[in-house]
């Protein structure tokens, strides 16, 4: 018995005791503290019921609270002396109600309901965090000021004590103050991320109503990333759980916010390879048609800004993308709009050729995709040159299948010439089908971009700084073969020498060509 009495006395030391201490003043959102003290509990309850009925008209989901927070029996409830189980249930109901109230906070019915919750359940003291989750997205409004003026922000209230200077003058909270706080306070940044994901989960199919909250979340996280002088590990680990949920959500506004945050994150700092590839996987599986173009632009940005992390598509992710007709359509549109799509085309080509060579699962789909790529996407000169160069690097002359990226050998040395002997042992292929397809595709690139193709081959032959893998050398033989197939064997040496990096060899080739011009014309 004494133990039970002690527990009740301890609960009476809680926030409600501060209210009881001054019967001439009452915390209130709608009224002056003295005026609020003159209104009895029944009057405030009637206001709350009236507000709830209006909210039910707007959204029937509020009916669930008629028999809990707004039941008439709550008129006689004293939560300070209730057992823990009762208070836990009450807290869950209050949190749930405030989450559903978020889209309607600025409406008068919402303020009527809050007036009842403040009077009866002292939510401004017992449920301060839940109430802040409701009002923080509206930090620039007078309604926000009215709510925080009900708080008792003592020094011990460390989470929200920084808002105390706003209470007496009744000033709204500036956005810059929020961004500075989020950039430097892990707890506050985590609070913003957590309240967003929890509210979206609670509202489920109606989460689209939380536009104000989701916009607030996106602007605060992006602002924190921009405001922070240096992006630290705690910034990333704090926002990552909500970011990953946003990239896979069924709520389009949440997904949009996650895309914007991702773009800002990869722009501000170099992320780990694991995180980079996880972001690529999530973004590639875009669920909303309206966000497809944004998703492709974001992928381009990730590959461009995170090159040091060596971003790559997983096989499942790439297979998913090459199956999507809209993907090529968007790439084509972006290319026509002079958007540089080179950073995403290069890994797609390299990985696709690798999967074709190894004949991995659904390898025929990669062939179809690459065929459609050069048919539907018109590349500008710079991108076309990179595409051709990338394709030349993809040739696999042996059974090696260590990965999509070919192994590099040492660069050409002064005086070296790429041999064009058709009987070279290195031409031996692991797959006749792959060799045939590769040759055909190379020829299509040549027909599609003849000038750029010549330029790329010329640079490969003439630049001694250019590194040439064995596969690239054989690929160049194929390219030259199309041009030289009607010539004699001696023409191979002349053609190659014309583009040699050694000036003396080029001069000898020109002299030889002039001398034998009539022979080659026959």
pLDDT tens across 201-226, in order? 999 999 999 999 999 999 999 999 99
For residue 143, tell me if it sits in a domain: no
**Confidence (pLDDT) at 497:** 66
Burial class (CB in 10 A: 0-12, 13-18, 19+), 109: buried
The half-sphere exposure of 17 on its side-chain side, counting CA atoms within 13 A, is: 8
For residue 368, tell me if it sits in a domain: yes
Are residues 436 and 355 part of one domain? no
pLDDT band at 498 (very low <50, low <70, confident <90, very high): low
Highest mean pLDDT of the ranges 19-33, 297-311, 389-403: 297-311
Are residues 372 and 463 part of one domain? no
For 151-163, what is the mean pLDDT? 86
Collapse the DSSP code of 337 into the 3-class scheme (helix H, G, I; strand E, B; otherwise coil) and give the result.
Answer: coil
Are residues 461 and 451 part of one domain? yes
- Give percent above pLDDT 90 in the chain: 64
Residue 498 belongs to what H/E stretch? Answer: helix 489-498
Asked if residues 280 and 299 have their Cβ atoms less than 8 Å apart, the reply is yes
Which contacts (CB < 8 Å, 24+ apart) does range 128-135 have? 128/157, 128/160, 129/159, 129/191, 130/91, 130/94, 130/95, 130/98, 131/98, 132/160, 132/191, 133/98, 133/99, 133/102, 133/191, 133/195, 133/199, 134/98, 134/99, 134/101, 134/102, 134/105, 135/105
46 or 422, higher pLDDT = 46
128 or 465, higher pLDDT = 128
**Confidence (pLDDT) at 505:** 73
The half-sphere exposure of 19 on its side-chain side, counting CA atoms within 13 A, is: 23
For residue 321, tell me if it sits in a domain: yes
Q: How far apart are CA 192 and CA 493, in angstroms?
A: 69
Tokens 């993907």 label which residue?
327
Q: How far apart are CA 79 and CA 76, in angstroms?
A: 10
Are residues 364 and 325 part of one domain? yes
**Confidence (pLDDT) at 459:** 78
pLDDT band at 82 (very low <50, low <70, confident <90, very high): confident
Q: What is the pTM of this model?
A: 0.83
For 348-372, what is the mean pLDDT? 90
For residue 263, tell me if it sits in a domain: no
pLDDT band at 285 (very low <50, low <70, confident <90, very high): very high
Are residues 384 and 481 part of one domain? yes
Are residues 334 and 373 part of one domain? yes
User: pLDDT per residue over 328-350, tens digit each?
Assistant: 999 999 999 999 999 999 999 99
Q: How far apart are CA 221 and CA 102, in angstroms?
A: 19
**Confidence (pLDDT) at 80:** 83
Are residues 357 and 385 part of one domain? no
**Confidence (pLDDT) at 374:** 93
Q: How far apart are CA 207 and CA 61, in angstroms?
A: 12
Are residues 374 and 287 part of one domain? yes
How many domains are there within the chain?
3
Collapse the DSSP code of 218 into the 3-class scheme (helix H, G, I; strand E, B; otherwise coil) and give the result.
Answer: helix
Q: Is the pLDDT score of 494 beyond 70?
A: no
Which contacts (CB < 8 Å, 24+ apart) does range 400-403 have? 401/354, 401/357, 401/358, 403/354
User: pLDDT per residue over 103-113, tens digit each?
Assistant: 999 999 999 99
**Confidence (pLDDT) at 22:** 61
For residue 443, tell me if it sits in a domain: yes
User: pLDDT per residue over 422-464, tens digit each?
Assistant: 444 444 434 578 888 888 898 899 899 989 988 888 777 665 5
**Confidence (pLDDT) at 151:** 93
For residue 340, tell me if it sits in a domain: yes
**Confidence (pLDDT) at 512:** 72
Mean pLDDT estimate for the chain: 84
Are residues 384 and 320 part of one domain? no
Within 133-221, strands assigned E span: none
User: pLDDT per residue over 386-422, tens digit each?
Assistant: 999 899 888 776 544 444 444 333 444 444 444 444 4
Are residues 440 and 388 part of one domain? yes
For 32-57, what is the mean pLDDT? 95
Q: Is the pLDDT score of 199 beyond 50?
A: yes
Distances from the Cα of 237 to the Cαs of 189, 194, 240, 341, in angstroms? 11, 13, 5, 30
For residue 331, tell me if it sits in a domain: yes
Are residues 439 and 515 part of one domain? no
Are residues 385 and 306 part of one domain? no
Asked if residues 191 and 163 have their Cβ atoms less than 8 Å apart, the reply is no
**Confidence (pLDDT) at 412:** 40
For residue 369, tell me if it sits in a domain: yes
Range of the domain at 478: 379-396+431-485
CA angle 223, 226, 227 (to 5 degrees): 80
């Amino acid at each position: 018995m004494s133990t039970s009495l002690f527990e009740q006395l301890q609960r009476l030391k809680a926030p409600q005791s501060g209210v009881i201490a001054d019967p001439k003043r009452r915390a209130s959102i709608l009224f002056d503290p003295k005026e609020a003290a003159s209104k009895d509990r029944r009057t405030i309850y009637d206001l709350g019921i009236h507000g709830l009925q209006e909210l039910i008209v707007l959204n029937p989901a509020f009916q669930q609270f008629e028999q809990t927070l707004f039941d008439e029996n709550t008129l006689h409830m004293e939560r300070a002396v209730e057992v823990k189980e009762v208070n836990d249930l009450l807290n869950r109901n209050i949190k749930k109600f405030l989450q559903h109230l978020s889209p309607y906070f600025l409406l008068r019915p919402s303020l009527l309901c809050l007036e009842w919750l403040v009077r009866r359940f002292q939510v401004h003291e017992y449920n301060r965090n839940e109430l802040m989750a409701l009002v923080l997205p509206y930090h620039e409004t007078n309604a926000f000021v009215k709510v925080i003026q009900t708080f008792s922000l003592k020094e011990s209230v460390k989470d929200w004590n920084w808002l105390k200077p706003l209470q007496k003058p009744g000033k709204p909270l500036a956005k810059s103050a929020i961004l500075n706080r989020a950039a430097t306070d892990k707890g506050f940044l985590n609070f913003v991320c957590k309240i967003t994901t929890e509210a979206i989960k609670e509202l489920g199919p109606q989460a689209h109503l939380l536009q104000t909250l989701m916009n607030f979340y996106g602007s605060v996280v992006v602002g924190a990333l921009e405001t922070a002088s240096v992006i630290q590990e705690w910034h990333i680990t704090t926002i990552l759980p909500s970011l990953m949920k946003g990239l896979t959500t069924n709520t389009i506004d949440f997904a949009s916010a996650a895309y914007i945050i991702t773009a800002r994150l990869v722009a501000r700092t170099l992320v780990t390879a694991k995180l980079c590839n996880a972001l690529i996987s999530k973004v590639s599986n875009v669920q909303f048609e309206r966000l497809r173009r944004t998703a492709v632009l974001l992928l381009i940005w990730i590959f461009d800004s995170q090159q040091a992390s060596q971003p790559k598509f997983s096989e499942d992710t790439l297979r998913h993308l090459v199956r999507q007709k809209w993907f090529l359509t968007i790439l084509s549109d972006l290319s026509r709009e002079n958007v540089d799509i080179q950073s995403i085309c290069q890994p797609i080509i390299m990985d696709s050729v690798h999967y074709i060579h190894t004949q991995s699962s659904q390898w025929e789909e990669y062939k179809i995709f690459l065929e459609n790529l050069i048919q539907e996407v018109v590349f500008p000169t710079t991108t076309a040159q990179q595409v051709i160069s990338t394709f030349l690097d993809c040739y696999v002359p042996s059974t090696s299948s260590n990965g999509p990226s070919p192994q590099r050998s040492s660069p050409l040395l002064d005086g070296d010439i790429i041999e064009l002997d058709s009987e070279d042992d290195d031409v031996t292929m692991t797959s006749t089908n792959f060799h045939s397809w590769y040759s055909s595709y190379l020829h299509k690139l040549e027909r599609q971009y003849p000038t750029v193709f010549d330029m790329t081959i010329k640079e490969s032959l003439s630049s001694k700084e250019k590194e040439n893998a064995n596969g690239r050398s054989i690929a160049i033989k194929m390219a030259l073969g199309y041009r030289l197939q009607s010539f004699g064997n001696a023409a191979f040496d002349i053609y190659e020498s014309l583009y040699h990096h050694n000036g003396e060899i080029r001069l000898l080739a020109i002299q030889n060509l002039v001398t034998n011009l009539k022979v080659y014309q026959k």
